[in-house]
């Protein structure tokens, strides 16, 4: 499996009305790390807001994507072009409230876990970055299938 990402930043905003420990645990479970960066700041109206984030590299990126449901990874493969900008950056938002429940689904609103990463692309072209992303995700999907094929004796 190739390394499609130079780095992947995972970030979430925790608002005053939310359980910080629950949000922290949710992000730690998604990233597979306990050493999250936590920054306390004030929101627009002076209310407490906590920004939690982590930056992943190497196998940690693959491990994160392996935690996502196969259906979601298939959706990312199909829409890879839409997830990559002209500067070879990957963008994805997971519904934060669903993630707290242990379900990872794409979000189209603002209450999210944000994943932003710099994709490998030499030379730096969107088309190359998209191809690398697809190969990376397809490799993950293949790795998911291989263990079950070995148990059933299928080729």
pLDDT digits (tens, 9 = 90+) for 43-71: 888 899 999 999 999 999 999 999 999 99
In DSSP notation, 41-73 reads EE-TTS-EEEEEEEEE-THHHHHHHHHS-HHHH
pLDDT tens-place string over residues 91-116:
999 999 999 999 999 999 989 999 99
What's the pLDDT at 113? Answer: 98
Q: Kindly tell me if the per-residue pLDDT of 151 is higher than 70.
A: no
Percent of the chain at pLDDT above 90? Answer: 84
What's the pLDDT at 3? Answer: 81
Rg from Cα positions in the chain: 17
Cis amide prior to 123 (ω within 30 degrees): yes
More confident residue, 35 or 94: 94
pLDDT tens-place string over residues 69-96:
999 999 999 999 999 999 999 999 999 9
More confident residue, 154 or 135: 135
What's the pLDDT at 2? Answer: 57
Cα distances (angstroms) measured from residue 123 to each of 128, 129, 132, 136: 8, 9, 12, 18
Tokens representing residue 62 in the block? 């693959």
The pTM is what?
0.88
What's the pLDDT at 126? Answer: 97
* For the chain, domain boundaries: 5-147
The domain made up of 5-147 has a fold known as: 50s Ribosomal Protein L5; Chain: A, (3.30.1440)
d(CA 10, CA 104): 14
What's the pLDDT at 88? Answer: 97
Using DSSP's 3-state secondary structure scheme, residue 105 falls into coil
Buried-state track 104-137, b at ≥16 Cβ within 10 A, e below 16: bebbeeeebbbbbbbbbbeeeebebbbbbbbebb
d(CA 5, CA 90): 9
Q: Kindly tell me if the per-residue pLDDT of 150 is higher than 60.
A: no
Tokens representing residue 94 in the block? 């997971």
Host H or E run for residue 122: none
């Amino acid at each position: 499996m190739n390394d499609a990402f130079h780095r992947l930043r995972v970030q979430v905003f925790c608002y005053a009305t939310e359980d910080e420990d629950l949000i922290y645990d949710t992000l730690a479970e998604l990233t597979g790390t306990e050493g999250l960066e936590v920054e306390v700041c004030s929101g627009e109206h002076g209310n407490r807001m906590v920004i939690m984030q982590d930056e992943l590299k190497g196998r940690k990126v693959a491990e994160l994507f392996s935690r996502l449901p196969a259906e979601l990874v298939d959706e990312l493969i199909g829409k890879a072009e839409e997830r990559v900008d002209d500067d070879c950056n990957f963008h994805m938002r997971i519904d934060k409230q669903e993630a707290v429940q242990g379900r990872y689904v794409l979000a189209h609103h603002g209450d999210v876990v944000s994943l932003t990463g710099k994709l490998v692309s030499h030379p730096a072209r969107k088309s190359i970055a998209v191809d690398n992303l697809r190969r990376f995700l397809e490799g993950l999907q293949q790795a998911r299938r291989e263990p079950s094929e070995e148990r059933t004796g299928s080729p």
